[in-house]
Chain A
Amino acid sequence: MSLAMWVATLNIVLGVVYTSYGLMTIVDLKRDWRFRGISHFGLAWIAMAFTCGPHHLDHGLQFATVGGNAGPLDLLAVVIGLPAGVTWFLLRVEALRGGRGDRFISGTPWWLKALVWLSVLYAAVLVASVATVLRHPVHFTPRLTPNVLLLGLYFLIGYYLLRTQLTNRTTLGGWSVSGVALTFVFPTCGVMHAMYMVYASTERYAIEWHCLLIDWLAVPAAIYFVWVVRNLSLGVSTDWNEGATGARLQVAVG
């Protein structure tokens, strides 16, 4: 299979997975909104899933149908994001079917420590590769703006997730598989946008209007999401983070 087909296939799989996050969240909202009220967190998450997923679908379908000069960095980015994204997806499916939806890893096993070093190595390889690509003439246009913004926003969400995982490790003495998977999803999404931007600025990829529109829609979605998280963390507003008992009490009497 050619590089373009690999990029296409993996992007389509990721696109389906991320779009499924949005669908699962809609199911969640539909099921519980009468008990808990509307969730801004859920809406923001749906908005993100329905922009991130279609971005990958569009990108994948573009290569699958039109073909093109696929970049190896694009493949590298997708390959890393895929296991994390699929893991979280499978855990959520398990939870929806009444299963545990998470696994707890006691302590920090060797393979998790190795994962950190692999991530550092991955980042180094990526930076070196990007530097090589950017030796070609770079044409920076306003069309690349959403990719830069999404890179920053997804890394910010990844930072919030990582911070929570590190705190949990200290207090619980281990790691949540669901949390670790989710922590990897967002920065790798950011990396995917970065790679797309690198290839677009060197004119290896042509920026299609549909993908550009999706990316621009993803910007306010991600801002909305971070804003909601910040509000909830500061206690300025409450959402579905209110205790389940309290939320159900309201229904029982009202």
Chain B
Amino acid sequence: MNHVPDERHQVFLKSRTPARTAWVHESRPVTRPMSNWSSDSIAVRAVASVRVVVAVAIGLIGSFLPNLGAREDAFFLIVGFVWIPFATVVLFASVRPNRRVALIGGPVGDILVLLGAQCLLPGASRVVLILYVVVVAFGVYTAGKHFATLLGAVAIACTALSQGLIPRSARLGAAELLFFSLALLAILLLLARSATLQDRVNARAERLQTKSDTILTHVASAVFVTDAESKILECNPAAERIVELPANAVVGNFCGDVVGLHLGERALDCSGGCAILKEFSESEAILGCELWRTRADGKRQPLLADATTVASASGQLEVVHSLRDVTRLKEAEEAKTMFLATASHELKTPLTVITGFAETLIRFDDIDRDTRLAALDAIRSRTRELTQIVDRLLMSSRIGAGAIQVTCTEMDVVPIISDRFATFAAGTHRAVTFMPPTEPVLAFANRDALITVIDHLIDNAAKYSASDQTISIEVASRDGRAHIVVVDQGIGMDEEQAAHCFKQFWQAESNDARRFGGTGIGLYIVHSLVEAMGGQIEVRSRKGHGSAFTVTLRRVDVDDAPAPSAGEESSIREFMRQIGVPERSRA
């Protein structure tokens, strides 16, 4: 059995012109109903549509014809009550490719209606012979020569049968029947051969096209194909993502206008042909060179670019550009450097203290008991600090590796927050306010994860505010969700800092002037754990006026999106919503 791709698993690839699109199949195969069928979905659909129109037209004509006899009445009733509904079913079936009802059922239904016409409308016998030929010819095209041969035989048999059922005066002559049979046979042979050759060519072309399109669609690199004048002819979805524009806004425009590559601080000039090919040696152009472009938000997007020339089908020179976004690689590199710098600093400080006190205790035997206890307490305190840092690093690493699994249950968050509040207040003697609500605040959460989240947020608030400034915690249940807010009056953040504060290893002060220490992973851990519990965290902050972190947790373990109480403004979209047409996003 051959396998053909299923249309349900298609991915979209923008084609050479803005108006044209090509549907590319994913590699998931489905079993084809019959091995030797050749079909063209568009042709099958077109014929199914034409069949419905013809059937309705015949039905309409029949209902307007005056003084019909019983035979004519019967024929038009067959058309109205059998053929039109059947043709409609075939039309609906033809929406999917290779459906038996469309490929076989359609022509079989046609043959039966033609038999009905031969028997009930004897005057139309000669027209019906021509229509038999049309139906059989279409059968060769859609369902293959074997089925069409069978169809042809049935057509001849039907014609012979009908001759026995109609008045002698209306019967066809032997010569007419012989000519019809021979014509049918000739058409069968001719079309079968033509269809076989066409199938072979199509199958090969489709295989190659599917393969190359699938590669282009799934490859992570952006691929632009330009002509010799640097006009973009084709691009893949990754290219759309890189330039943040849909394909129809990319294709047809000049590479320099759409992509805008820079080398160092200089914009590359693509007007006289591909700048990458001009600027770099052949090996560099193929292996990749580091360039950048400006993103829509004004930031630099580092890219690894290469280019090579190919000849198009028409022999024209085309250039295939491949661009790989290396922003994340660069960020990871920077984060790693930052992490090494901050971690070594954070680990070194307590280690220095521990080493100092340990050496003092070893070197001097005559230290009094109070001093020894103070030294040991300092060692213990710094060891705890070290353990905390290592724990955070380990958790951060586990989150990064996707190894954190959080099992949530519905619980009252108030006792947990009260406990963490009391522990913090007793340990630091800082001004902390928390008014526990009288009613339980239920949330879908994990106890350990919630404790970590609250502890980190309180620590964070304490770290970035002066010791005489108040930290407050609020808990409330609103809109069916639990809201936990930790507010400080500390240094606060500006808009950009607030936007980045949940990133791993990010710190508001990343230079040598850092005043607050820390590894820059506390809020990253908080963000990850809240998301793992299906909640959300957001921050409101003003530089110099403090910050407020709000954790929102769901009440139950379902997607509790509010029920839609408003319809669509557009009548078309409202009807679509009500009839169950699924909303689709642009590929």
Contact = CB atoms under 8 A, between A and B. Distances in A.
A246 B581 contact: no
B578 A104 contact: no
B426 interface: no
Interface string B350-379: 000000000000000000000000000000
A238 to B, nearest CB: 5
Interface string A18-56: 000100110011011000000101100100000000000
Nearest to B78: A142
Given A95-B574, A161-B579, A241-B576, A142 B56 contact: no
Interface string B63-89: 110001000010011011100110010
Contacts of B88: 153, 223, 226
B582 interface: yes
Given A232-B581, A233-B582, A223 B91 contact: yes
Interface in B561-583: 563-583
A227 interface: yes
A41 B91 CA distance: 17
B92 A227 contact: yes
Given A102-B564, A236-B95, A142 B248 contact: no
B8 to A, nearest CB: 7
B586 A247 contact: yes
Contact of A176 (B52, B60, B564, B569): B564
Given A182-B578, A233-B581, A21 B563 contact: no
Nearest to B248: A254
B86 to A, nearest CB: 12
Contacts of A241: 573, 576, 581-584
Nearest to B575: A45
Nearest to B77: A142
The range of chain A's interface size is 35 or more
A148 to B, nearest CB: 6
A253 B574 contact: no
A209 interface: yes
Nearest to A231: B95
Interface of A: 21, 24-25, 28-29, 31-32, 39, 41-42, 45, 91-92, 95-96, 98, 100-104, 106, 140-143, 145-146, 148-149, 152-153, 157, 160-161, 163-165, 167, 172-174, 176, 178-179, 182-183, 209, 212-213, 216, 219-220, 223, 226-227, 229-236, 238-243, 246-247, 249-250, 253-254
B63 A236 contact: no
Nearest to B87: A223
Contacts of A250: 246, 248-249
B237 interface: no
A205 B79 CA distance: 24
A157 B576 CA distance: 12
B582 A160 contact: no
Contact of B566 (A21, A42, A102, A174): A102
Most chain-A Cβ atoms within 10 A of its Cβ — which of B63, B85, B584? Answer: B63
Interface of B: 7-8, 52-53, 56, 59-60, 62-64, 68, 73, 76-77, 79-81, 84-85, 88, 91-92, 95-96, 245-246, 248-249, 563-586
A101 B567 CA distance: 5
B576 A239 contact: yes
A150 B156 CA distance: 36
B292 to A, nearest CB: 22
A104 B578 CA distance: 13
Contacts of B7: 236
A178 B567 contact: yes
Given A32-B570, A223-B52, A41 B583 contact: no
A230 B96 CA distance: 10
A216 B56 contact: yes
Contacts of A227: 91-92, 95
Contacts of B575: 41, 45, 182
Nearest to A22: B571
A243 B586 contact: yes
The 7 A-B residue pairs whose C-beta atoms are closest, nearest first, are: A145-B80, A102-B567, A101-B567, A246-B586, A164-B580, A142-B76, A253-B249
A163 B249 contact: no
Contact of A145 (B84, B96, B570): B84
A160 B579 contact: yes
A148 B80 contact: yes
Contacts of A179: 577-578
A45 B581 CA distance: 14
Contact of A101 (B248, B566, B586): B566
A204 to B, nearest CB: 19
Nearest to A94: B567
Nearest to A250: B246
A95 to B, nearest CB: 5
Contacts of B574: 92, 95, 101-102, 178
B567 A152 contact: no
A235 B579 contact: no
A1 B81 CA distance: 38
A100 B579 contact: no
Given A28-B570, A104-B563, A104-B564, A142 B579 contact: no
